[in-house]
Structure 1
Amino acid sequence: MDLKPGFSEISLKLSNGNAWPVKLSIPQKIIEEKVPLVVALHWAVSANENEEFMNCLMIPAIDTSRYMIIAPLSQFHSWWEDPKERQVVRLINLVKEFWPVSQVIIAGYSDGGTGAVHFASNHPKLIDGAIAIAGYYRPASYKAPTYIIHGVRDQLFSYSRSKIILEKNQQKSDRLKFVSVETLSHYEACNYVNLLQKGMEWIEQNLD
């Protein structure tokens, strides 16, 4: 595939013949050198949720002159469930093999945040860093630098439960940072831009 700098949407053909829409943001510098990749996992599990997710959160927060962004659709599957988990793993492996990618950071919000930490804990050889916002967390150990942001007022995924789980996970993961946000709830995703920017800065400082 010819990587053209700028924003685009492509349709990947799956082995079953179905199409998998994916949004791309490609920096100009990819012509001369390898760039880090952000795999962006949108919220919810409906058919077309990555439009607002990209426009109001990911694109404003991530330096698109330095990072490539790839944002697939979940197509009614949670990111950690078959067949979507296998598809994302296959996608990342293909990108690492054929595209000029230096490192892979996975980032997501809500269902995408849950997916981001799932990949960070279950596929450590694929992922160099992870950022999760407003997700649902389970006992886990993260090998890669992992930055988790959670609003105290979250109505969908309990902040107090998240805090307990993540403090335990920090005992098993020496590069896990948990950031509490006093003022934000779950349904204010577009207000997390500055927090995601800080998460990207932290990931950059802690990448191997």
Structure 2
Amino acid sequence: MRLQKTTLVYFICLIFIYGCSNGGSEESAKVPRTYQDVEKDFDAINFKTGINDISLSNFRGGKWDFRVIMPNVNLTNNPRPLIITLHGAAGGSPDAHKQTACYVETAYAGLNAIIISPNGYVNLWSEAVNQEQVLALVDLATKYLPVDKNKIVIEGYSNGGNGAWFFAETQPQIFSAAIPSASYYNTTNNGIGRLIKIPVYAIHGEKDALFPVVDVKRWVDATNASGSKVTLVIAPGLTHPEPCSYVNYMKGAAEWLVNDVWK
């Protein structure tokens, strides 16, 4: 499996190229906004403690729908961890990014982190349109919110877990760790494990019929043999379509971040 190695700098450069272009083509003529416009709009948002559901017009004539959860702490000179959480396949539901209460909010409450949950609609997280969204939201958050740039985490469930693996592999200069749950991401080429440069805490249900744990374990063993630091936690009895049942294992991932990754 070959992966395109993109960086935040690369995508932000593309954002400026497309957002600022006046090249005269029909496509560019349809672009009414620039990335600078998006930045101004994000900076103008009055984020309150708790849940903020945002719809932000992007620079391609579309929008990004996402949730920002702000911790109830004094943020003055107190940069917080940033957790980007990616939802599972939701058939394009406009509310997919709002399904955070039963596991994400509960699992990471002790970290007092800023949590951003984007809506990927019908696209995979590895597709260019969602890479652009995720990387732009990280860029905006680190510029305009009190984020500790050394504590940025990518996490997700099911399809979102696959996305967490993808960003862990392709964006190690941005994310300090990844937490994929109930995911299915082949980390090998011809049976040889690819190196994942950041630590990963993978959680998987023992009874997951959609994504067999035997395959996940084989891929984890292969990437670890190549030098990766992947912890695989197998949840006894858990199946695939029950994300809320994974919350205690995700709390273990939060402890792992504090005790092993950020210490």
After superposition, residues 91-110 of structure 1 pair within 5 angstroms as 91-102=137-148, 103-110=151-158
Local SS of the residue matching 1:28? coil
**Contact 1:13/1:20 (CA < 8 Å) preserved in 2?**
yes
- Structure 1 residue runs of 5 or longer lacking an equivalent are none
User: In structure 2, how many angstroms separate the alpha carbons of the residues matched to 1:65 and 1:152?
Assistant: 27
TM (normalized to structure 2)? 0.74
1:138 — aligned with what?
186
Mapped pair 1:123 → 2:168: no
Larger radius of gyration: 2
The code of the aligned residue for 2:183 comes to G
Higher mean C-alpha displacement, 23-32 vs 158-167: 23-32
User: In structure 2, how many angstroms separate the alpha carbons of the residues matched to 1:4 and 1:51?
Assistant: 16
Rate the CA distance shift 1:15–1:30 in 2: closer, same or farther, 3 A. Answer: farther
**Contact 1:45/1:111 (CA < 8 Å) preserved in 2?**
no
> Residues 27-77 of structure 1: CA distance to partner in whole angstroms, max 9, x if unpaired?
13253110001101001142232333x022111111167111100001110
**Contact 2:199/2:229 (CA < 8 Å) preserved in 1?**
yes
Query: Where does structure 1 differ by over 3 angstroms across 4 or more consecutive aligned residues?
Result: none
User: In structure 2, how many angstroms separate the alpha carbons of the residues matched to 1:82 and 1:44?
Assistant: 17
After superposition, residues 30-179 of structure 1 pair within 5 angstroms as 31-32=75-76, 33-48=78-93, 49-52=96-99, 54-63=100-109, 66-102=112-148, 103-139=151-187, 140-179=194-233
**Contact 1:25/1:64 (CA < 8 Å) preserved in 2?**
no
> Residues 160-203 of structure 1: CA distance to partner in whole angstroms, max 9, x if unpaired?
11111111111224421111122101011110000000011112
**Contact 1:46/1:75 (CA < 8 Å) preserved in 2?**
yes
Mapped pair 1:191 → 2:239: no
User: In structure 2, how many angstroms separate the alpha carbons of the residues matched to 1:3 and 1:34?
Assistant: 15
Mapped pair 1:20 → 2:64: yes
**Contact 1:146/1:177 (CA < 8 Å) preserved in 2?**
yes
Offset of 1:3 from its aligned partner?
2.9
TM (normalized to structure 1)? 0.93
**Contact 2:103/2:244 (CA < 8 Å) preserved in 1?**
yes
Identity %: 30
